[in-house]
Amino acid sequence: MHGHRGCKFYTYTVLMSLWLNFLKFGTSGKKMSKKQDIINTALKLFNTYSYNSIGIDRIISESGVAKMTFYKYFPSKAKLIEECLVTRNLNLQESLDAAIAQCDPKDYLSHIKTIFSWYDAWFRSADFNGCMFQKAVEEISKVYPSSLQPAIDYKEWLKSKLSYALRHLGIQQSDQLAAFLSSILDGMTIQAQIDPNQVNLDDYWKRVYTLIQLELA
């Protein structure tokens, strides 16, 4: 049924809270090091504006660190961007894992729906400005090819999460369907960047649910 509720549906607020907690403050809740301060400042600026329009001097200024401290950790802008995206990747994984952990461990359909719901909560968060991985591919991948690896790592991780759930639902070609569902999430993200209100989670979920049922038939 389309209204599947294996993960309690009050979790929209919880998902938003997880998003804000992990992506703004990291996972430890401890006082951040100067290196982490720089990474978090750079992530915020790159997300709000673009990789190309934000220079090192502005990041140093808004981080409140000395130039020497900055270059101690990041000898180049390429290295900073790479570490920012590695951090983003890890934070995304931990946030999604925390959301899925609220579901019944054996209710694999709810795991998939929670991933879609988590994305929807992200689209409606105040700091949503599109996917930083997609932006990296578009803006800087040719200049800073190392920026591609965290994006690839996240994509593979997401597909493995989806494939795991699909496989446990009894779908034989779980990897192929997982790749397709991942592409749907990419499309939702691009659509949300234009206008989040145009992304109707219920409509997308009905299509995803139908695809899963067809594979199980």
Asked if residue 154 belongs to a domain, the reply is yes
Q: Measured between alpha carbons, how far is 148 from 34 in angstroms, rounded to an integer?
A: 25
Asked if residue 74 belongs to a domain, the reply is yes
Please tell me which residue, 145 or 26, carries the higher pLDDT value: 145
Asked if residue 3 belongs to a domain, the reply is no
CATH number at residue 103: 1.10.357.10
Q: Which domain holds residue 142?
A: 11-216
- Choice among 123-127, 176-180, 202-206 with the minimum mean pLDDT: 123-127
Instruction: Give residue-wise pLDDT tens across range 56-105.
Output: 999 999 999 999 999 999 999 999 999 999 999 999 999 999 999 999 99
Number of domains in the chain: 1
Asked if residue 71 belongs to a domain, the reply is yes
Asked if residue 1 belongs to a domain, the reply is no
Tokens matching residue 196: 């989040």
Asked if residue 2 belongs to a domain, the reply is no
Model confidence at 50: pLDDT above 90 = yes
pLDDT of residue 191: 96
Torsion of CA 109, 111, 115, 118, to 10 degrees: 120
Asked if residue 47 belongs to a domain, the reply is yes
Q: Measured between alpha carbons, how far is 30 from 11 in angstroms, rounded to an integer?
A: 25
Quote the mean pLDDT of the chain. 89
Residue type, 197: N
- Choice among 9-13, 145-149, 153-157 with the minimum mean pLDDT: 9-13
Provide the whole-model pTM.
0.86
Q: Measured between alpha carbons, how far is 203 from 193 in angstroms, rounded to an integer?
A: 18
pLDDT of residue 146: 84
